[in-house]
Amino acid sequence: MILAAGYGSRLRPLTDHTPKPLVEVAGATILEHVARRLIRAGADRIIINVSHLAEKLEAFARERWTLDAELVLSPEPHGPLGTGGGLQRAAPLIRRDRPFLLHVGDVVSELDLGAVVESHETSGALATLVVHDRDAARCLLFDDRGLYGRDNRTEGWSRGVRDPVGVSRRWSFAGIHALSPEILDRLTEAPPFDIIDAYLRLVAEGAVLGSYDMTGVRWLEMGTPERLAAARAVLESEAG
């Protein structure tokens, strides 16, 4: 599933008329860049949630989608439901026989997504969050058992939902998750809500959520005009 329902507020005015997933970079939409990497990892079905400028994403799916995977839309007609609420609403569309990837809609990386799924399957965790060692103001806290809290240097607080075990690590979340389908029945928050809030509740209830370290792997986030321009420069140079 690719999260594609947001307003893309930081990219305005570009996203006033174009949904962020349909912004073009190096001859393809951001949506296609992300989807190609998911398909390369073995995905044969891509779900996207749609809300802001949904009609343009619907038209794209109907008229321009050519990739080798089924594209399924999960509408959020009354406004974006957040990363957690979007997943919760899309739950009936998600197969329950295998782990699945949840991928933020404005990141393109060289990460081996298939390896993330394999690592998740062998870990026994309810969810595996892809992280990297990056000097970011807002980070997640992990220890030898997995996720246990979050940290916000801008606002000056750090909170854990359980006591840390062993070595504590402060990692930046990369916006990519591998999830066991059982988690879909445990998302009980009222939308809209952030998936990280649900994760921390589950950890407090005893669930184990692991990590996959992608430090050093190229990761291009396109949520601001500056980052979009930087990503375009990289991807267009490779496209020739």
Q: Which residues of 32-49 are buried (b: 16+ CB within 10 A; e: fewer)?
A: bbbbbbbbebebeebbbb
How far apart, in Å, are the Cα atoms of 126 and each of 26, 85, 107, 199, 208?
36, 18, 23, 9, 6
Q: What is the per-residue pLDDT across 108-155, written as a single tens digit (0 to 9) for each?
A: 999 999 999 999 999 999 999 999 998 899 999 999 999 999 999 999
Predicted confidence band of residue 190 (pLDDT cuts 50, 70, 90): very high
* Distance of alpha carbon 23 from alpha carbon 4, whole angstroms: 12
In a domain, 104, yes or no: yes
**How many other C-beta atoms can be found within 10 angstroms of the C-beta atom of residue 144?**
11
Per-residue model confidence as pLDDT tens digits over 27-79: 999 999 999 999 999 999 999 999 999 999 999 999 999 999 999 999 999 99
Residue-averaged pLDDT of the chain: 95
Q: Measured between alpha carbons, how far is 38 from 19 in angstroms, rounded to an integer?
A: 20
Distance, CA of 83 to CA of 199 (rounded, Å): 11
pLDDT at residue 8 is higher than 90: no
Q: What is the CATH number of the domain that holds 168?
A: 3.90.550.10
Residue type, 126: L
Q: What is the mean pLDDT of residues 232-238?
A: 90
Model confidence at 186, pLDDT cuts 50, 70, 90, reads very high
Bridge-based pairing state of the strands 138-142 and 169-179 = antiparallel
Type of residue at 172: S
Please report which confidence band the pLDDT of residue 14 belongs to, taking 50, 70 and 90 as the band edges. confident
* Closest C-alpha to 31, from 81, 106, 135, 99: 106
55-63 contacts at long range (C-beta below 8 A, 24 or more positions apart): 56/18, 56/19, 56/22, 57/4, 57/19, 57/21, 57/22, 60/22, 60/29, 60/31
Closest to 150 (Cα-Cα) out of 161, 165, 140, 163: 140
In a domain, 224, yes or no: no
Cβ atoms within 10 Å of 202's Cβ, excluding its own: 20
Confidence band, pLDDT 50/70/90 cuts, at residue 7 = confident
Q: pLDDT, tens digit, for every residue of 165-182?
A: 999 999 999 999 999 999
Query: Where does the pLDDT of residue 239 fall: very low under 50, low under 70, confident under 90, or very high at 90 and above?
Result: confident
Total domains in the chain come to: 1
Mean pLDDT of 5-23: 90
- Flag whether 222 is in a domain: no
Q: If DSSP codes are grouped into helix, strand and coil, which group holds residue 70?
A: strand
Distance CA 103, CA 115 (A): 15
Q: Which of 114, 87, 115 is nearest to 196 (CA)?
A: 87
The percentage of the chain sitting over the pLDDT mark of 90, rounded to a whole number, equals 92
Instruction: Say if 239 falls within a structural domain.
Output: no
The residues facing 152 across adjacent strands are: 138, 157
Q: Which domain range does residue 117 map to?
A: 2-216
Q: What is the DSSP letter of 190?
A: P
Whole-number pLDDT of residue 240: 65
Give the rounded percent of residues in the chain with a pLDDT score beyond 70. 100
pTM value?
0.94
